[in-house]
A and B are shown apart, each in its own frame.
Chain A
Amino acid sequence: MILLSIVFIIMRVLPGNPVLLRFEKNADPALIASYTHQLGLDRPLYLQYFDYLWGLLHGNFGVSMAGDFAPVGPQILSRFPATLELTFYAFIVAVLVGVFLGAFGARRGGAPDESVKVFGILIYAFPVFFLGMILQLVFGIWVHLLPVTGRLSAGFQPTGLSINGVQYQTGIYTLDSLLSGNVVEFIDAVRHLILPCLALGLVISGVFVRMTRANMMETMRSDFVTAARARGLKERTVVYAYALRNAMLPIVTIMGLQFAILLSGAILTETEFSILGLGTYLIDRINFRDYTAVQGTVVFLALLISSVSLIVDILYAYLDPRVRL
């Protein structure tokens, strides 16, 4: 809400007129005026603000200012699945790599631990698009193994689930292709996802490596771990079944914040791999000074982040019974 207001003020009060940007310099003033009126830009600012809020409450993100007056909401929704798919799989990569390496380092100590620590710092210092470029170069250009741009090969279009002739599409290609039972399409979608998810996931994994490592070290010193060892349990069981479960708790809480970092990274990854998601949409709309579209995207992201942090809180209560008391 606060952020929404800040966004509104930044986008509207400051110079730069979307209507003028659309027309040539010597356009008919009457035409410009009619456009301005149609967009409601000639109304007082506070009225514009309340109009916008009222619209949002009804799920209306406003119409595009870039000329065609297309509603922004559906556009955002059509771009969202690509971003969701990318961030979801990248997140899985990040958690798997991060938690495994972190736990491994904390368990072994010594040289393996130091290398895990250095890996955590190094990978976090990687610009995600640089890593993306290296992956593209190696796997896409030197070794022709994987596709380097887009979400699907030409000619593919997952149809989704069809029940009684009605199509239900999610826009998430890996899901849609499975629902329609098209394995070839599914494999194609996965192949397109591997490199971007690897790039984004590895960079984000740096944080998880560090968190897991630090938490594991603390947990490994706690009494219940000693007790488990004293009972003669296998070291592997103690580490991965006992200690890791407890060390995961603080990691779950930072997942919510990681989501924001993930979204930042997704913008760059989408640009690098030419994926038509929210990130590329945002950059595209900014170049048109399409206020409503930019604002809508930002609001959408804010809502998304709020819901993710809600989910994380619920998840935390589930994992840690103490919270429920």
Chain B
Amino acid sequence: MKQNNSRQHTASLMGNLLSPLIGKGRGRALMFVGIGIALVITLMSVTAPFISPHDPTVIGLGPVNSPPSAKFPLGTDQYGRDLLSRTIWGGRFILLVAVAAVLICMAVGLPIGLVSAYTGGNLDRTVALVMDSIYAFPSLVLAIMIISVFGVSIINEALAIAVVYIPTYFRVVRSQVLAIKEMPYVDAAKSVGANGPSILLKYILPNVISSTVVVATVNFADSILTTAGLDFIGLGLPVTLPDWGIDLTYGRMSLPTGSWWTIFFSGLMILLAALGFSLISEGYAERTNPKLR
């Protein structure tokens, strides 16, 4: 019986998550274009070892800074590396950072928001104050500081971005829980003897989850942009990795000679990746938020 219950609960959670994906209505086109872009980019990154024509890290594969040609469709960079292969490989790490950052944010921001808002009182006020002060601060400055102290690595990158975005999850979840916990159905659950944790998990969480998806997809897009930004100022991913952000940063050195291809494709990929996830979030929000319909 208990197992059955929890299965039902999971099913209803999944239902709340996935129902905006089904059916017609506003925001559908946006969402599907976004999902399409995201899928293509993810697929490309996952299958990079099989589909890339060359090893992205081999120096001197072709002439230095050569424009797009039949042999190197996207040209070569200042070390003579194949830019097509680098563009195909370049999403792996930046996307990995984004996935890790979003997971950490969810794992921390969601529970803190739920519990803090549900408990209320001084605890809630204190947590909200700390979160708000982080939220009001320029995200990049904070990320820069964390990276500069802990050092450059994929994990630190993800952690820094997570710290910066946890307050966003917290705020969204908290404001919703504050409204939901006053609803009559929550009182009803209390009156039949449901305890705090079960109210949070069974009655409140399912109503918060769809806005968490909106935040998470925006967060994913922002993580990509922030990682690229950190790459750009030399505090991002290790420079030896084939990565869009790093290619964009170093491709810039060849800019004065007019070689547009060294920046264009990596920049375009970052833009597309961020755009894809922004579109998903926009479409999803339009479909779940009655105010926007």
Contact = CB atoms under 8 A, between A and B. Distances in A.
B229 A268 contact: yes
A14 B282 contact: no
Contacts of A142: 258
A81 B258 CA distance: 32
A127 B136 contact: no
B271 A260 contact: no
B255 interface: yes
B23 interface: no
B285 to A, nearest CB: 11
A267 B137 contact: no
Nearest to A16: B149
Contacts of A260: 136-139
Interface stretch (A40-48, A72-80, A297-305): A297-305
Interface residue tally of chain A, by bracket?
35 or more
Interface string A126-164: 111110011011000110000000000000000000000
Contacts, number: 119
Interface in B187-228: 221, 225, 228
Contacts of A238: none
A264 B221 contact: no
Interface residues of B, number: 41
B255 A136 contact: yes
Interface string A1-36: 011001100110010100000000000000000000
A298 B141 contact: yes
A16 B278 CA distance: 38
Contacts of A126: 271, 274
A125 B225 contact: yes
B134 A3 contact: yes
Contacts of A268: 140, 229, 232-233
B110 interface: no
Given A2-B129, A2-B130, A268-B233, A127 B228 contact: yes
B260 interface: yes
B275 interface: yes
A130 B267 contact: yes
Contacts of B235: 283, 286
Interface string B129-167: 110011011111100111011100000000000000000
B229 A286 contact: no
A127 B225 contact: yes
A2, A7, A127: most-surrounded residue (chain B CB, <10 A): A127
Q: Interface centre among B30, B141, B146, by most A CB within 10 Å?
A: B141
Interface of B: 30, 129-130, 133-134, 136-141, 144-146, 148-150, 221, 225, 228-229, 232-235, 248, 252, 255-256, 258, 260, 263, 267, 270-271, 274-275, 278-279, 282, 292
Interface of A: 2-3, 6-7, 10-11, 14, 16, 121-122, 124-130, 133-134, 136-137, 141-142, 214, 257, 260-261, 263-265, 267-268, 271-272, 282-283, 286, 294, 298, 301-302, 305, 309
Q: Which 9 A-B pairs have the closest CB atoms?
A: A264-B140, A130-B267, A125-B274, A125-B275, A263-B138, A264-B138, A286-B148, A260-B138, A2-B133
30 contacts: A3-B133, A6-B134, A10-B146, A14-B150, A126-B271, A126-B274, A127-B225, A127-B267, A128-B229, A129-B232, A130-B248, A133-B263, A133-B267, A136-B255, A137-B258, A141-B255, A142-B258, A214-B292, A260-B138, A261-B138, A263-B141, A264-B138, A264-B139, A267-B229, A268-B229, A283-B233, A283-B235, A286-B235, A298-B145, A302-B137
